[in-house]
Amino acid sequence: MQNTSQGNFSLPPPAVGVRPLNEKALLIQALIALFLYVNVLMIFTFFRKEAFRTNTRYILFAHTLICDCAFLIITDILLLLTVARIVMPTSLCIIICAILVNLSIATPLTLTAMSMERYVAICMPLRHAEISTPQRAVHGILVIQALCSVRVMVMLMSLFVAYPLSFYSSSLICSMVMLHAYAWQKHLRDAVLQLYFLFMSLVIGFSYIKIMGVARAASGEDRKSMNKGLKTVLLHALQLILSLIQLWCPFVEAAVLRIDLKVFETIRYFDYIMFILAPRCLVPLVYGLRDESFTVVLQYYALFGCHKRITPVHMHKQKAMSTKKRVAQNV
């Protein structure tokens, strides 16, 4: 079995010894702890309010938060193992990378589904209550996971074809770079990702154009609501663009890895913060805080119910009805 650039394939020798964590890794731990706290608080807010659990938009939003939290935790563990030069069995690494592959594409696909939900709410308001139901939201999440599994299956099949059986009983520093040693594997991965993002770009672009057409024809409060819908779709497009930028990182990292290991670790550290950590934390945070109803309840739990000006959890009937109306509004 031959490599595209050299003769026979061979695993890099595992690093000897364990390095202590440096200040960069400790900084990442602080950032991840902060963002995980905010995301977990938003997930807790979602499950505490029935009005959120029965709304398609919030169900999809909670799905992105859960996927992002799991993605951040797993990637952080791999980052710590890489910094400390700790090896693991290849079979375990493959399972972890398969989960990461699923999570990495689940969030953009969910954002695409949220764009379609905004399209139905604004362009098909009479059918929105019929189409956008909690049951359909759950079915949509199952479809999203099925689409994610396609990429996982492609990755696993490429590994089984590329490597001998001895590869799976070896140990390595777990990384997607280590698993994609052949050029054709990278080309196959890139082709699948391009199909995904072409599909998502077309759906988000279609939703934005349709909502923009309705917004131009609207007036007054309706026009203001349409503009909020446009901004929501633009947020989804922004995160999709950031995800596309993330696709270029492995190319740069793989090229630098052949030159200098220290420079590779520095670039990987920068890419992790800018194109993995920040998009998966800041964009959901901004999206959640744009919703008035969600923000009110989020602030209540964030301050442990101590702020008197924030609507409490157990509201009287009049305030509860008001909140439900705000939840039903388009964002």
Task: Tell me how far apart the alpha carbons of residues 207 and 210 are, in angstroms, rounded to a whole number.
Answer: 5
Dist CA 234 CA 189 (whole Å): 27
Question: DSSP H helical segments within 258-302, as ranges?
Answer: 261-271, 278-289, 292-302
The CA angle 290-295-296, to the nearest 5 degrees, is 140
* 207: its two tokens: 């939703």
Contact 38, 97 (CB under 8 A): no
Please tell me the distance from the alpha carbon of residue 238 to that of residue 204, in angstroms, as a whole number: 11
Contact between 301 and 45 under an 8 Å Cβ cutoff? The reply is yes
The top-level CATH class assigned to 23-307 is: mainly alpha
- Model pLDDT, residue 70: 93
Of 331, 323, 299, the residue nearest 51 (C-alpha): 323
Altogether, the residues listed in the chain come to a count of 331
SS3 171: strand
Q: What is the mean pLDDT of each run of 10 residues along the chain (331 residues)?
A: 39 47 78 86 87 88 91 88 86 92 89 87 86 91 94 91 86 81 81 86 86 75 69 74 71 78 80 79 68 76 60 43 45 42
Identify the three-state secondary structure at position 202: helix
Q: Could you tell me the sign of the dihedral formed by the alpha carbons of 36, 41, 47, 50, in that order? A: negative
DSSP H stretches of helix in the chain: 23-48, 50-53, 56-83, 90-123, 125-131, 134-162, 165-168, 176-179, 183-217, 220-257, 261-271, 278-289, 292-302, 317-328
In whole angstroms, what is the distance from residue 175 CA to residue 94 CA? 9
Among 271, 261, 275, residue whose Cα is nearest residue 85: 261
Distance CA 146, CA 161 (A): 23
pTM, full prediction: 0.79
CA 68/CA 47 separation, integer angstroms: 17
Which residues neighbour 13 within 8 Å (Cβ) at sequence distance 6 or greater? none
The reported pLDDT for the residue numbered 240 is 72
CA distances for 26 relative to 22, 175, 280, angstroms: 6, 20, 19
- The H or E element containing residue 172 is strand 171-172
Q: Parse the chain into domains and list their residue ranges.
A: 23-307
